[in-house]
């Protein structure tokens, strides 16, 4: 966090190398998040680009007393929400191919066996079927491990509302998983 | 067959680090239950995926970002940028300072020219805030003389009156119009109107039966929820006219999947929040509401769109107009973790209202129009608060018991007709024994 403040200070003084470092630090995390949200590689890439361009443009507005990463996530999430409005009906069939490709690229070390990849695809698509707000919170919590307080800051709701939405999302997932993958 | 095991325990185990014993107990079940095993495997795989699979933004995209930014942005106009940056980062301090400065100017100007400032105050909404400064429109709060405590009297828009509950029935005069009250005094209930009071439910059964009680609109029946184990699955009532007791659920052939956890009553309707049991036979929350139409003698099941987890408890159930409100609290955390969830009659969520309260809220009771509710706090509540759903504000109606204040609030209810709030306080006095006082809180009117 201290490093972030130093880098931000340097960027605001016109040091563009500092921005490169900031980008290296956070681009993969934001891309990963946006991929989980869109399940489409190309869209996640576009949104990641847009996020960091916006981060750079708005950096002078960033309050240095606060944490930087949630602020970046907030920008990414707002862009995703705009994207979601326009692409609600986008065919999810595309996801299967994209997901397979991404999982293949992400686990070249053999971390995931074929059967696991198939199961994962199924789970990720179930998560994708959650309501938008529940999906946002579930992914921020489960994949990024943010606290409910930070999730509340990112999504613009209270800590307790974030907590409740998370458990509601989890409950819905359990129901869907058990019904889709019932014995 | 569907497994009834609490699935949250399995997921919680993967998210946190439970004790070895708890883990062993959960895994023992998981190993022998195919449903839970599938769930465990699914969430385990998901956790592994989120934790271990790396996502890498392609170099092409990364380069695109680097090339798209205006590299001169922070070289140009550095001075103006730094000023704007300073303003953004100190926005709160700047705002507060500006407000204080404005206030100082107003007060300073007022000191220099009292006539003009009084014209300003009288002609604006600020007058209401300073109501305690004026005889006209000042609010009649016992013990507060106008001007003595401006803020307290100005923020209290209610008129409070109280009388000791005594056998001469003098206290009935503060009950307005056709309001009917069911007051709990010692271990009996008093049925009161503004002309008459009589004791009801004078049987030994009443001793335990002090959890929730509702008087029907016609004043003939008391529905009450004892929440004791031998009454599980029953919704009891007392017929005042015939002096008989009964179980409404049994009479209407309603079987509920658990026990009556909380109830609420509103004009011929009763809603029940059904509680369940876990493997250790401890009470847990469920996702089932049963609404009974007393007139049509029908009932329906409403499924909540959420189910609680182990640390989540329901602390209140109330009708808010035609809607239903459930107060949810998180018992493992203190403060600001309570939500009032408003549902429509089919169980769809209309609104979620986070409420900041350091202690666990309980005993909620909503006003007849559904715009406000009262609540108490803590495990042995002695206080009373009023929450306004319109402006999301809360007001302390009665302070908690303290060494200085030995009086405690023991119940509250709303006048169905007048919309007044009534509450009873209790104080044990060495000289005069137990003292009960009935209070009425009325919205302030021009007359009051």
Residues B322, B242 share a domain: yes
**d(Cα A174, Cα A138) in Å, to the nearest integer?**
13
- What is the CATH code for A1-84? 1.10.1740.10
Å between A172 CA and nearest CA of chain B: 8
- In the predicted model, what is the mean pLDDT of residues A25-53? 92
Q: Helix, strand, or coil here: A29?
A: helix
Q: Is B292 exposed, middle or buried (0-12, 13-18, 19+ CB in 10 A)?
A: buried
Please say whether the beta carbons of B74 and A11 come within 8 A: yes
Q: Give the percent of chain A with pLDDT over 70.
A: 82
Pick the closest to residue B314 from B285, B293, B354, B294 (CA basis): B285
Which has the closest alpha carbon to B308: B8, B40, B35? B8
What is the pTM for the complete model shown? 0.49
Number of independent structural domains in chain B: 3
Same domain, B185 and B142: no
In terms of domains, do B150 and B165 share one?
Answer: no
> Across A165-169, B182-186, B418-422, which has the greatest mean pLDDT?
B418-422
Residue B442 pairs in a beta bridge with B159
> How many CB contacts within 8 angstroms connect chain A with chain B?
142
Q: Give the chain A residue whose CA is nearest to the CA of B8.
A: A171
- B448: in domain: no
**Burial annotation B13-42 (CB, 10 A radius, 16+ → b, else e):** bbeeeeeeeeeeebeebbeebebbbbbbeb
Which among B64, B306, B338 is the nearest to A171, CB-wise?
Answer: B306
Place of tokens 């014209």: B119
Q: Domain residues for B229?
A: 158-443
Chain B partners within 8 Å of A32 (Cβ): 54-55
Closest CB from A53, A119, A178 relative to B35: A178
Residues B418 and B273 in one domain: yes
Give the whole-angstrom CA distance, residue B440 versus residue B408.
15
Q: Is A49 in contact with B352 (Cβ distance < 8 A)? A: no
Query: Which of B435, B88, B10, B159 is closest to A171 using CA atoms?
Result: B10
* pLDDT given at position B397: 92
Say if the Cβ atoms of A61 and B88 lie within 8 Å. yes
The ranges assigned to domains in chain A are 1-84, 91-122, 129-183
Mean pLDDT over A24-39 rounds to 92
Q: pLDDT higher for A137 or A93? A: A137
Do B302 and B347 fall into the same domain?
yes
Residue B57 has its nearest CB partner, among A48, A111, A163, at A48
Mutation site for B-interface testing, chosen from A37, A43, A46, A52 by largest number of B Cβ within 10 Å: A52
Per-residue CA distances from A151 to A10, A140, B12, B161 (Å): 28, 7, 19, 46
User: What rounded mean pLDDT belongs to chain A?
Assistant: 82
Spatial contact of A52 and A76, defined as CB atoms under 8 Å apart: no
As a whole number of angstroms, the distance between CA B373 and CA B389 comes to 8
Which chain A residue has its CA at the smallest distance from B76's CA?
A14
Structural tokens at position A61: 């507005």
Residues of chain A in contact with residue B50, where contact means CB-CB under 8 angstroms, are 142-143
B307: enclosing H helix or E strand:
none
Residue where the block lists tokens 């999730």 = A151
Of B229, B190, B187, nearest in space to B209 by CA: B187
Question: Residue A16 and residue B89: Cβ atoms within 8 Å?
Answer: no
State the Cα–Cα distance between residues A178 and B202, nearest whole angstrom.
Answer: 52
Compare CB distances from B65 to A49, A63, A159 and report the shortest one's residue: A49
Does residue B398 share a domain with residue B290? yes
Comparing CB atoms, the residue among B11, B55, B341 nearest residue A35 is B55
Which chain B residue lies closest to A42 (C-alpha atoms)? Answer: B61
Verify that B137 and B273 share a domain, yes or no.
no
> B131, B155, B179: which is the final residue of a domain?
B155
The more confident residue out of B107 and B435 is B435
pLDDT tens readout for residues B286-339:
888 999 999 999 999 998 887 665 556 788 899 998 899 998 876 554 444 688
Burial zone of B272 (CB within 10 Å; 0-12 exposed, 13-18 middle, 19+ buried): buried
Fold classification of A129-183 is Arc Repressor Mutant, subunit A (1.10.10)
Q: Say yes or no: A31 contacts chain B, CB-CB below 8 A.
A: yes
Chain A residues whose CB is inside 8 A of the B57 CB are 27-28, 30-31, 45, 48
């Amino acid at each position: 966090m201290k490093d972030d403040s130093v880098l931000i200070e340097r960027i605001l003084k016109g040091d563009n190398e500092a921005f490169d470092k900031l980008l290296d630090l956070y681009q993969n995390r934001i891309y990963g998040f946006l991929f989980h949200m869109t399940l489409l590689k190309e869209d996640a890439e576009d949104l990641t680009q847009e996020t960091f361009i916006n981060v750079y443009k708005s950096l002078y507005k960033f309050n240095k007393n606060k944490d930087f990463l949630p602020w970046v996530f907030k920008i990414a999430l707002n862009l995703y929400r705009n994207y979601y409005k326009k692409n609600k009906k986008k065919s999810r069939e595309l996801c299967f191919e994209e997901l397979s490709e991404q999982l293949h690229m992400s686990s070249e070390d053999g971390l995931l066996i074929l059967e696991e990849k198939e199961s994962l695809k199924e789970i990720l698509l179930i998560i994708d079927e959650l309501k938008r707000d529940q999906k946002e919170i579930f992914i921020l919590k489960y994949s990024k491990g943010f606290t409910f307080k930070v999730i509340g800051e990112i999504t613009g709701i209270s800590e307790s509302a974030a907590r409740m939405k998370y458990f509601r999302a989890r409950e819905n997932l359990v129901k869907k998983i058990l019904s889709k993958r019932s014995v | 067959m569907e497994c009834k095991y609490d699935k949250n325990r399995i997921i919680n185990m993967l998210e946190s680090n439970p004790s070895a014993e708890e883990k062993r107990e959960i895994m023992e079940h998981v190993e022998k239950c195919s449903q839970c095993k599938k769930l465990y495997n699914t969430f385990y795989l998901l956790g592994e995926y989120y934790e271990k699979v790396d996502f890498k933004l392609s170099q092409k995209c990364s380069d695109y970002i680097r090339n798209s930014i205006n590299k001169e942005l922070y070289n140009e106009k550095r001075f103006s940028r730094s000023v704007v940056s300073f303003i953004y980062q100190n926005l709160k301090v700047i705002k507060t300072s500006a407000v204080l400065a404005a206030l100082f100017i107003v007060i300073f100007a007022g000191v220099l020219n009292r006539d003009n400032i009084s014209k300003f105050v009288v002609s604006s909404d600020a007058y209401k805030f300073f109501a305690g400064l004026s005889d006209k429109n000042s609010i009649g709060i016992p013990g507060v003389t106008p001007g003595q405590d401006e803020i307290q009297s100005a923020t209290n828009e209610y008129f409070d009156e109280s009388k000791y509950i005594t056998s001469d029935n003098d206290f009935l005069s503060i009950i307005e119009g056709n309001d009917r009250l069911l007051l709990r005094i010692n271990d009996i209930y008093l049925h009161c109107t503004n002309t008459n009071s009589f004791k009801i439910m004078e049987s030994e059964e009443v001793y335990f039966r002090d959890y929730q009680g509702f008087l029907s609109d016609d004043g003939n029946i008391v529905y009450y929820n004892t929440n004791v184990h031998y009454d599980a699955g029953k919704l009891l009532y007392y017929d005042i006219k015939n002096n008989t007791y009964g179980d409404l659920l049994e009479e209407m052939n309603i079987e509920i999947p658990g026990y009556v956890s909380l109830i609420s009553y509103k004009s011929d309707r009763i809603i029940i929040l059904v509680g369940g049991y876990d493997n250790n036979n401890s009470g847990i929350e469920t996702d089932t509401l049963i609404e009974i139409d007393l007139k049509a003698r029908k009932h329906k099941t409403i499924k909540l769109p959420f189910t609680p987890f182990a640390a989540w408890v329901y602390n209140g159930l109330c009708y808010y107009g035609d809607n239903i409100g459930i107060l949810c609290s998180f018992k493992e955390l203190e403060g600001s973790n309570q939500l009032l969830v408003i549902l429509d009659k089919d169980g769809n969520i209309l609104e979620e209202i986070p409420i900041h309260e350091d202690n666990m809220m309980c005993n909620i009771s909503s006003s007849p129009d559904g715009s406000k509710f009262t609540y108490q706090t803590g495990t042995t509540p002695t206080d009373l608060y009023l929450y306004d759903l319109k402006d999301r504000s809360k007001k302390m109606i009665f302070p908690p018991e303290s060494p200085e204040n030995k009086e405690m609030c023991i119940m509250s209810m709303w006048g169905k007709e007048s919309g007044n709030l009534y509450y009873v306080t209790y104080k044990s006095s060495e000289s005069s024994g137990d003292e009960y006082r009935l209070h009425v809180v009325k919205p302030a009117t021009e007359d009051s």
